[in-house]
Amino acid sequence: MTARWKTGLPLALAVALLAAWDAAVRLSGSDLFPKPLDVAAGIVELGRKGLLHKYIVASLFRVTIGFGLAVVIGVPAGLLLGWSTRLFYAFNPLIQVFRPISPIAWIPVAILWFGVDDRAPIFLIFLASVFPITVSAIAAVQNIQQNYIRAARNFGLGRLELFRRVIFPATLPQVLTGIRIALGVAWLVVVAAEMIAVNSGLGYLIIDARNAGKRYDLVVAGMVMIGLIGLGLDLVVRRLERFDEVRWGYAR
Amino acid sequence: MSQPDVAVRIANLSMSFPGKGTDEPIAVLSDVSIDVRRGEFVCIVGPSGCGKSTLLNIVAGFLPHTQGDVLVEGRPVRGPDPRRIFVFQESAVFPWLTVRENIGFGLSGRVRAEREKIVAHYVEMVGLKGFEAAYPRELSGGMRQRVELARALASNPDIIYMDEPFGALDFLTRLKMRADLIRIWQEERKTILFVTHDIEEAVQQADRVVVMSRRPAIVQEVVPITLARPRDLDAPGYLAARDRIFAAMGMSHTVGDAPPASRSAAGPDADVVIIGGGPAGAILGAYLGQAGVSHLIVDKAVHPRPHVGESLICSTTRVFQDIGFLPVLEREGFVRKYGAVWTRAGDPSTRTLRFRPMPHLGVLQEHTYHVDRARFDDLLLGHARVRGSRVLEGMTALGVDFDARGFASGVRARPDDGGPERVFRGRIVVDASGRGTVLGTQLKLKRNDPLFDQFAVHNWFEGVDRGPAGTADFIHVHLLPTPRAWLWQIPISATVTSVGIVTRRDDFVQGGESPEAFFRRHVASHPEFARRMAGAHALHDWTREGNYSYVMDRFAGDGWLLVGDAARFIDPIFSSGVSVAAESAQRAADAIVAALKAGRVDETAFARYETTVRAGVELWREFILLYYQLPGIFLDLMATDEGQAELRQILQGQVYDVPSAPVVDRLRRQLDAVKADPEHPLRREWVPL
């Protein structure tokens, strides 16, 4: 397929879906559910009032802090647990118990501990993303080709050097994949958390637009923004996967 | 106390691994003693799995040992040491570093200018100039092994340990790597301890060859090679050394076993003599090599070989995994085959079958391959050599000799360059001569299969439209209006597509056309496919192959077996050719190893081989017959998930050692129903045979 087709086809599909959406709303005669143009107008309105910018920044801020903490703690923890069999046996059951608990289930606890401010969603985002990151880092270390370790030891590398020059680069592709998955989850969770635990952000925008005046054009506008930013975040991380230092780790 | 010039002393070394649960420990090495002198090149050869790699890992300090001493420069080995570098079989080049960074990996203590100088020197020495900034994934397998070798040399070790370092490379690359290694060793004068199961490799390189026995490995023999380098591979001294090692290895599997059943005074050339180096012979050779059975392959080597059968099926993956050939298929970039598509002239719907893994057979990948047979067959035979096959090329087998008891005793052959006729004696003769059917013809075992009196015309094309992108790399079978006539469409490379027509023989003979006119007429009868061929042009002369299917009355006898096409050839509509070769070769290898071990090579030893292979191919034949009589039902079946699941069993090649094939039973029932009922709605679809 040529490049033109690769962008042309999804664009054509998007246009067709928008047209179908528009037609469906008109045919149903609903005056509550917005048409595509209403949503676009909603986005413009939010922008003019300065809310769009404010809410996006609020959401991104929470994700940056919560997710950043998860990376800073999860990656080293995972590498360590993957390397040390003893630590792995000690901590793995705990991780496996906490991992399946949906971050949503933590919302009441988070509000109890932190009240209605930024710390609650940050805590939830941290919880949601730290497990995928840790688990993928553990697996990455455990799956390192034995030959790399042997070759490195053969060249006389000490423990720290081994970590820096072999284990870290060897695990980087898989760790990055974990980070990408975790970022997607973090973005899902920030919206859910903002619906309940704070009064700003894109999640808050959605719930507020509905509660305050049944402004479904703004509800859908919020959803569209969430989707677009999620796509953007994923593209950024995918960019990282193209660097020569990690590209070897992904199938063509 | 060590002598001054001994670099490595292995003294009375024994090693065993703990058994599972309460099992006895598994003894791997038993009382092994080897001295390696400084600057010496020593090769350790032995059958696969004999423990020679374990030995090298112990010497390098990666594994502990149970008993005895390992001294390097007079000191016991306590762990790996930068003064002795290990070169691995599976490349341990770091994929996240460039060639330059990899080679400099062991030089981090040096100042930068010095490091760069050393790296440049070794880049040059292993012939990688211009690739310094490349990453390993951009290099071929041979180049990656060069990087690893350069990395080892750059850190200036006293000793280099090499564990089958060229094992994953193709034949020609191996030859080149060996020559380069010798050149480098002569320049640098390192001590090299080199493990391989390839006898030729050992004789070409080493000062001394240490021959190990099967597990638990002992040192069977030490053969000094005093020939000057570069070595002439036809020199009498070379051949003598090689044969001495062969003999030592050939003996090894009878140590402790029953004495050989029959051996003439002069002794056989090998335990097994194989006629033909096509897929069946090469796969059998690889298995026998792995089992440490001495054997040789007498090969006519006509290139290119006739190459019907360019598409493989999934069950062969199991065999390629067994013999370590799968990495070669991947590395050589053969087109991956993920499934099959059927179309029918005048029928807009197509049927697609996507392959699935077969975990119970250990096959986890979803794809098999389309192959250019000339290249594939060459690589496979090269791989058999890697696994220890001795291949005599340019020898036409004339027939099989039998001894007074009626046992096959050897193969008569004549060199293609006109030399005198020779006899290669063996305890077992295997005919893998393909459609040459040397032994089947000699013993008058051949029966043509009248139901498959078929004929093929084929060629390679550029510019074929392979259809929708999602299935472009599938095999396509295009059914034609003429009964039992079909076209294949097989992708050979990114641009080349193989297209061939198969039809009944009289269909071609009666037409009186040229192959090309015949081909074009049949393509035109399938308008949808004809459109796809509109921009195509043929690349070669037209190839015709006729007189298609036959079966031998017997597949084995006293001291002989038939494998692959030499036993049975059926219509290749479901890409069964290489599969029959692979499956029969693997089962023949099992039967041969057991027979030699038991010291009985009469026909009873091969009875089970014959039953299994015959049943498998017959199941296939019946399926094809049913298919030709009811193509419409086959296509309907393909439209349901249940039908696809049943079909996959056959189409992925699981026809051996199976109690039944539900899809065959189902088609048979439906055919019976159609035959019995003149009003049956599918009656007009029925093509009576």
Looking at B223, B251, B279, the residue that finishes a domain is B251
Quick one: pLDDT at residue B3? 57
Burial label for B387, CB within 10 Å (0-12, 13-18, 19+), is buried
Structural domain contains residue B122 = no
Mark whether B324 and B444 lie in a shared domain.
yes
Quick one: pLDDT at residue A251? 61
Q: Beta-carbon neighbour count of residue B524 at 10 Å? A: 13
* Number of Cβ pairs < 8 A linking chain A and chain B: 57
Q: Count of domains in chain B?
A: 2
- Which residue from B140, B9, B4, B145 is spatially nearest to B68, judged by alpha carbons? B9
Domains detected in chain A: 29-247 (1.10.3720.10)
The answer to whether the beta carbons of residues B335 and B492 sit under 8 Å apart is yes
Verify whether the Cβ–Cβ distance B94 to A169 is below 8 Å. Answer: yes
Quick one: pLDDT at residue B307? 62
pLDDT band at B262 (very low <50, low <70, confident <90, very high): very low
The answer to whether the beta carbons of residues B211 and B220 sit under 8 Å apart is yes
In whole numbers, what is the pLDDT of chain B averaged over residues? 86
Q: Which of B80, B88, B136 sits opposite A248 (nearest CB)?
A: B136
Structural domain contains residue B588 = yes
The mean per-residue pLDDT over the stretch A71-82 comes to 95
Mark whether B37 and B75 lie in a shared domain.
yes
Quick one: pLDDT at residue B572? 76
pLDDT band at B306 (very low <50, low <70, confident <90, very high): low
Quick one: angle between helices B171-188 and B141-154, nearest 10?
A: 10
Quick one: pLDDT at residue B676? 85
Mark whether B29 and B177 lie in a shared domain.
yes
pLDDT band at B265 (very low <50, low <70, confident <90, very high): very low
Q: Is the dihedral of CA A102, A107, A110, A112 positive or negative?
A: negative
As a whole number of angstroms, the distance between CA B501 and CA B543 comes to: 11
Span between the terminal Cα atoms of chain A, in Å: 17
Q: Does A214 touch chain B (CB under 8 A)?
A: no
Mark whether B77 and B165 lie in a shared domain.
yes
- Residue B655 gets the label, from left (phi > 0), alpha (psi -120 to 50) or beta, of alpha
Q: Which residues on adjacent β-strands are paired with residue B29?
A: B15, B217
Interface of B to A at Cβ within 8 Å reads 60, 62, 79-82, 84-86, 88, 90-92, 94-98, 105-106, 135-137, 155, 469
Residue of B nearest to A168 (CA): B96
Which residue would you say has higher pLDDT here, A104 or A68? A68
With a pLDDT cut of 90, the percent of chain B lying above it is: 35
pLDDT band at B241 (very low <50, low <70, confident <90, very high): confident
Give B-chain residues touching A169 at CB under 8 angstroms.
Answer: 94, 96-97
Distances (CA, A) of B94 to B84, B389, B494: 19, 33, 30
Structural domain contains residue B591 = yes
CATH value at residue B421: 3.50.50.60
Structural domain contains residue B572 = yes
CATH value at residue B169: 3.40.50.300
Q: For the ranges A25-34, B354-363, B548-557, which has the lowest average pLDDT?
A: B354-363
Mark whether B182 and B326 lie in a shared domain.
no
Interface test with B, best of A155, A162, A168, A171 (most B CBs within 10 A): A155
Q: Is the dihedral of CA B95, B98, B100, B104 positive or negative?
A: negative
Give B-chain residues touching A154 at CB under 8 angstroms.
Answer: 60, 80-82, 84-86
Give B-chain residues touching A165 at CB under 8 angstroms.
Answer: 105
pLDDT band at B263 (very low <50, low <70, confident <90, very high): very low
As a whole number of angstroms, the distance between CA B350 and CA B184 comes to: 58
- Which residue from B560, B548, B522 is spatially nearest to B440, judged by alpha carbons? B560
Q: Is B22's pLDDT higher than 70? A: no
Mark whether B300 and B200 lie in a shared domain.
no
Quick one: pLDDT at residue B429? 96
Give B-chain residues touching A175 at CB under 8 angstroms.
Answer: none
Residue type, B272: V
Looking at B604, B626, B648, the residue that finishes a domain is B626
Interface test with A, best of B59, B90, B96, B139 (most A CBs within 10 A): B96
Mark whether B294 and B438 lie in a shared domain.
yes
Quick one: pLDDT at residue A104? 86
Mark whether B174 and B287 lie in a shared domain.
no
The mean per-residue pLDDT over the stretch A181-188 comes to 92
pLDDT in tens, B155-205: 999 999 999 988 877 777 788 888 889 988 988 889 999 999 888 899 999
Verify whether the Cβ–Cβ distance B92 to A245 is below 8 Å. Answer: no
As a whole number of angstroms, the distance between CA B564 and CA B436 comes to: 11
Structural domain contains residue B264 = no
pLDDT in tens, A113-165: 998 888 999 999 999 999 999 999 999 999 898 889 999 999 999 889 999 99
Looking at B578, B595, B626, the residue that finishes a domain is B626
Q: Give the residue numbers spanning the domain of B326.
A: 271-334+371-448+550-626
String of DSSP letters for B412-434:
EEEETTS---EEEEEEEEEE--G
Quick one: pLDDT at residue A125? 94
Structural domain contains residue B107 = no
Q: Does A39 touch chain B (CB under 8 A)?
A: no
Please enumerate in sequence order all residues whose Cβ is within 8 A of that of B228, keeping only pairs 6 or more positions apart, or say none.
Answer: none
CA distance A153 to chain B (A): 7
Pairing verdict, β B568-569 and B446-448: unpaired
Q: Is B259's pLDDT higher than 50? A: no
Mark whether B289 and B187 lie in a shared domain.
no
String of DSSP letters for A121-151:
HHHHHHHHHHHHHHHHHHHHHHTS-HHHHHH
Give A-chain residues touching B155 at CB under 8 angstroms.
Answer: 155
Q: Which of residues 226-245 of A touch B (CB under 8 A)?
A: 244-245
Question: Does residue B74 sit in helix, strand or coil?
Answer: coil
Quick one: pLDDT at residue B26? 81
Mark whether B72 and B219 lie in a shared domain.
yes
pLDDT band at B302 (very low <50, low <70, confident <90, very high): low
pLDDT band at A40 (very low <50, low <70, confident <90, very high): very high
Q: For the ranges B12-16, B308-312, B341-345, which has the lowest average pLDDT?
A: B308-312
Q: What is the largest CA-CA distance in chain A?
A: 76
Quick one: angle between helices B631-638 and B641-651, nearest 10?
A: 110
CA distance A182 to chain B (A): 24
Q: Does A170 touch chain B (CB under 8 A)?
A: yes
Q: Which of residues 147-166 of A touch B (CB under 8 A)?
A: 147-148, 150-151, 153-156, 165-166
Q: Which of A147, A148, A155 sits opposite B155 (nearest CB)?
A: A155
Quick one: pLDDT at residue B388? 83
Give all strands of the β-sheet with B6-17 in edge-to-edge order: B26-37, B6-17, B67-72, B75-76
Structural domain contains residue B188 = yes
Verify whether the Cβ–Cβ distance A248 to B135 is below 8 Å. Answer: yes
CA distance B652 to chain A (A): 25
- ipTM over 0.90 threshold: no
- Which residue from A17, A53, A57, A32 is spatially nearest to A209, judged by alpha carbons? A32
Mark whether B393 and B309 lie in a shared domain.
yes
Mark whether B555 and B584 lie in a shared domain.
yes
Span between the terminal Cα atoms of chain B, in Å: 83
Interface test with B, best of A154, A240, A245 (most B CBs within 10 A): A154
Q: Which of A145, A153, A244 sits opposite B135 (nearest CB)?
A: A244
As a whole number of angstroms, the distance between CA B496 and CA B489 comes to: 10
Structural domain contains residue B1 = no
As a whole number of angstroms, the distance between CA B590 and CA B610 comes to: 12
In SS3 terms, B602-627 reads as CHHHHHHHHHHHHHHHHHHHHHHHHH
